[in-house]
């Protein structure tokens, strides 16, 4: 362990957070690195930090305290060290395991190593976790925004984000096209066009299972009722469809006594009403169109019912299934509709990278947008929390932006290290502040009777409300 990073000494009063046998070991004064961020990040960080410190002080009477430790990235790092992303900063995030960052400028012209990508790869941060919840009073396009309360687990390392793409017209794309057309599609009518660019979408057993596992564990640990696997398996059978299949394998294979699948729940619900139902009758409950399907399909469903009853009839039947986590699945396009039309039915969502990218921004918009949406990238023993918005350059250094996204990211951080009392205090105080209609400009312009305040006054009111 270094005694300084980027020439800044590590706080002497703090200790490192450790991770042993799958659990964080958190000292009373953990050293937590932060990247203030560029642009509006400068306004936000100092105010968000004041909220965190006041909440921790209040929750633990001074017995606990975060030793914040500044690490440099973005414009500040470039100004001081002529480097947009010093290796020391990456190393500090690794060494101290849990960190938080504000938004960073992406320099136009490219060629700059992205902090997010670098950290994601070096620490294998495979879960992008975004809670999406409405705080009463926050302007929203929804009629019943308060019904939205979901946590989205987006796979963070695979899918089309793996960056395996070949440009139209290149020698590589020709090689790949010829291979696919001649070797793989030779006997079919399918053909890749000569003028197509090509991309590869890898979805692995390993990547899918660990993401779904994390989502189920989160749902269980946090008393959530439903965990939904979101996929596009009806079209992309061996990637999205496989994600779905492997997701259920994890659910049934590793959490059998804690979960019931939706199909199983239909069987048990029907039996709870009428215990005399035969497997044939129950098969019709699971697949109402069974009489019109080929016999082989019907037989398969009857066999499925029999298997369910033999395997978990005792443990899950007679209403016992009702207290377990319900695991179901939805096709991604239907999920977008459901989140708008019946959000109450959803709780925790686990999905592949691209679906999750779209879904989390769309869901955030349902509850007030990016100014308030927190985010995190999580691996086994490592976590980086971050605002989901950018640097809002035109609003920077004017004390006007909404610090909500970073404050709620900090709430997630406190929850991860088990400081739930402080996390709850902040969430309650922020809810109260918005209920009092004391808000920053982004909310004020859409709220009747709002008292518009700056970043610092908004944070100060949260501290008052703690
Ligand atoms: P942006 O999120 O900065 O701004 C989009 C809109 O939202 C703007 O109107 C802005 O004023 C408003 N806004 C954003 N945050 C706000 C807040 N906290 N309070 C009130 N209003 C807020 O996105 P952009 O304009 O596309 O990008 C600006 C810069 O940020 C770019 O350099 C971009 O690369 C960078 N960026 C960084 C991250 C990151 O580091 N995670 C994410 C997105 C964009």
Dihedral Cα 31, 104, 155, 257, nearest 10 deg: 30
In Å, how far are 66, 152, 244, 327 from 236, measured between CA atoms? 46, 21, 11, 21
Cα 443 to Cα 368: distance, rounded to the nearest angstrom: 8
Residue whose CA is at the smallest distance from ligand 1 atom 12: 392
Cα 158 to Cα 242: distance, rounded to the nearest angstrom: 13
Task: Choose which residue among 130, 370, 375, 389 to substitute to test ligand 1 binding: the one with the highest number of ligand atoms within 8 A of its C-beta.
Answer: 389
Residue 112 confidence (pLDDT) above 90: no
Whether residue 34 lies in the annotated active site: no
Residue 5, pLDDT score? 96
Residue 149 confidence (pLDDT) above 80: yes
Whether residue 88 lies in the annotated active site: no
pLDDT digits (tens, 9 = 90+) for 250-288: 999 999 999 999 999 999 999 999 999 999 999 999 999
CA of 394 to the centre of ligand 1 (A): 9
Residue 126, pLDDT score? 97
Q: Any bridge partners for residue 327, and if so which? A: 227, 261
CATH code of the domain occupying 1-140+368-466: 3.40.718.10
Q: Which of 76, 101, 133, 232 is catalytic?
A: 232
Q: Write out the two tokens for 287.
A: 């697949």
Cα 338 to Cα 331: distance, rounded to the nearest angstrom: 10
Cα 38 to Cα 107: distance, rounded to the nearest angstrom: 11
Would you say 422 and 413 are in contact if contact means Cβ atoms under 8 Å apart? no
Query: What's the sign of the alpha-carbon dihedral 388, 394, 399, 402?
Result: negative
Cα 66 to Cα 55: distance, rounded to the nearest angstrom: 11
* Ligand 1 binding residues, C-beta < 6 A: 40, 103-106, 370-371, 386, 389-393, 395, 401-402, 405, 442
Residue 161 confidence (pLDDT) above 90: no
For the chain, give every domain's residue range.
1-140+368-466
Mean pLDDT of 39-68: 97
pLDDT digits (tens, 9 = 90+) for 180-212: 999 999 889 999 999 999 999 999 999 999 999
Residue with tokens 């938080």: 100
Residue whose CA is at the smallest distance from ligand 1 atom 26: 390
Residue whose CA is at the smallest distance from ligand 1 atom 40: 103
Average pLDDT across the chain, whole number: 95
Mean pLDDT of 159-167: 90
CA of 373 to the centre of ligand 1 (A): 12
Residue 119, pLDDT score? 87
DSSP string across 71-99:
---HHHHHHHHS-SS-HHHHHHHHHH-EE
Residue 224, pLDDT score? 97
The larger pLDDT score, comparing residue 370 to residue 70, is at 70
pLDDT digits (tens, 9 = 90+) for 342-378: 999 999 999 999 999 999 999 999 998 777 899 999 9
CA of 393 to the centre of ligand 1 (A): 7
Q: Which of 161, 248, 258, 320 is catalytic?
A: 161
Query: Hey, is 111 helix, strand or coil?
Result: coil
- Percent of all residues in the chain with a pLDDT value above 70, rounded to a whole number: 99
pLDDT band at 107 (very low <50, low <70, confident <90, very high): confident
Q: How many residues does the chain have?
A: 466
pLDDT digits (tens, 9 = 90+) for 282-328: 999 999 999 999 999 999 999 999 999 999 999 999 999 999 999 99
Residue 169, pLDDT score? 97
Whether residue 218 lies in the annotated active site: no
CA of 43 to the centre of ligand 1 (A): 13
Among candidate residues 225, 168, 159, the one with its CA nearest the CA of residue 192: 168
pLDDT band at 110 (very low <50, low <70, confident <90, very high): low
Mean pLDDT of 450-465: 98
Neighbours of 229 (CB within 10 A): 28
Whether residue 60 lies in the annotated active site: no
Residue 324, pLDDT score? 98
Residue 443, pLDDT score? 93
Q: Which atom of ligand 1 is the closest one to the Cα of 44? A: 18
Residue 120, pLDDT score? 87
Residue 154, pLDDT score? 97
Which region among 14-28, 100-114, 406-420 has the lowest average model confidence (pLDDT)? 100-114
Q: Which residues contact 112 (CB under 8 A, 6 or more apart)?
A: 84, 85, 106
Residue whose CA is at the smallest distance from ligand 1 atom 2: 390
CA of 390 to the centre of ligand 1 (A): 3
């Amino acid at each position: 362990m270094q005694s300084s990073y980027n020439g800044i000494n590590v706080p002497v009063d703090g200790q490192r957070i450790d991770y042993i046998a799958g659990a964080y070991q958190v000292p009373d004064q953990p050293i937590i690195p932060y990247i203030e961020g560029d642009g509006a990040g400068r306004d936000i960080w100092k105010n968000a930090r004041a909220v965190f410190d006041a909440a921790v002080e209040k929750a633990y009477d001074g017995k606990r305290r975060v030793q914040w430790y500044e690490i440099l990235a973005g414009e500040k790092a470039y100004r001081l060290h002529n480097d947009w992303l010093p290796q020391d900063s990456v190393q500090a995030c690794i060494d101290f395991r849990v960190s938080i960052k504000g938004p960073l400028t992406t320099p136009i012209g490219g060629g700059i190593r992205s902090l997010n990508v670098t950290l994601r790869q070096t620490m294998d941060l495979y879960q992008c976790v975004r809670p999406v919840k409405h705080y009463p009073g926050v302007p929203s396009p929804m009629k019943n925004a308060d019904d939205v309360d979901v946590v989205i687990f987006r796979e963070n390392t695979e899918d089309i984000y793996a960056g395996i793409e070949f440009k139209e017209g290149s020698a590589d794309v020709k090689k790949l096209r010829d291979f696919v057309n001649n070797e793989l599609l030779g006997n079919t009518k399918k053909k890749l066009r000569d003028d197509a660019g090509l991309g590869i979408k890898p979805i692995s057993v390993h990547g899918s299972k660990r993401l779904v596992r994390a989502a189920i564990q989160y749902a269980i640990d946090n008393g959530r009722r439903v965990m939904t696997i979101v996929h596009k398996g009806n079209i992309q059978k061996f990637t999205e469809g496989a994600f779905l299949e492997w997701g259920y394998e994890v659910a049934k294979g590793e959490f059998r006594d804690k979960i019931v699948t939706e199909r199983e729940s239909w069987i048990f619900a029907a039996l709870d009403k009428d215990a005399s139902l035969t497997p044939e009758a129950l098969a019709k409950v699971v697949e109402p169109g069974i009489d019109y399907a080929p016999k082989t399909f019907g037989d398969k469903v009857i066999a499925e019912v029999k298997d369910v009853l033999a395997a978990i009839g005792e443990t899950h039947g007679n209403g016992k299934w009702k207290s377990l986590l319900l695991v179901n699945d939805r096709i991604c396009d239907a999920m977008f509709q459901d989140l708008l039309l019946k959000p109450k039915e959803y709780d925790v969502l686990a999905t592949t990278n691209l679906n999750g990218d779209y879904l989390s921004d769309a869901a955030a918009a349902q509850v007030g947008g990016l100014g308030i949406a927190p985010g995190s990238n999580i691996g086994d023993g490592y976590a980086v929390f971050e605002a989901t918005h950018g640097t809002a350059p035109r609003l920077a250094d004017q004390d006007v932006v909404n610090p909500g996204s970073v404050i709620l990211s900090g709430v997630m951080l406190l929850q991860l290290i088990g400081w739930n009392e402080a996390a709850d205090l902040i969430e309650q105080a922020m809810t109260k502040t918005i209920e009092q209609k004391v808000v920053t400009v982004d909310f004020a312009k859409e709220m009747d009777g709002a008292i518009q305040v700056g970043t610092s006054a908004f944070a100060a009111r949260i501290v008052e409300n703690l």
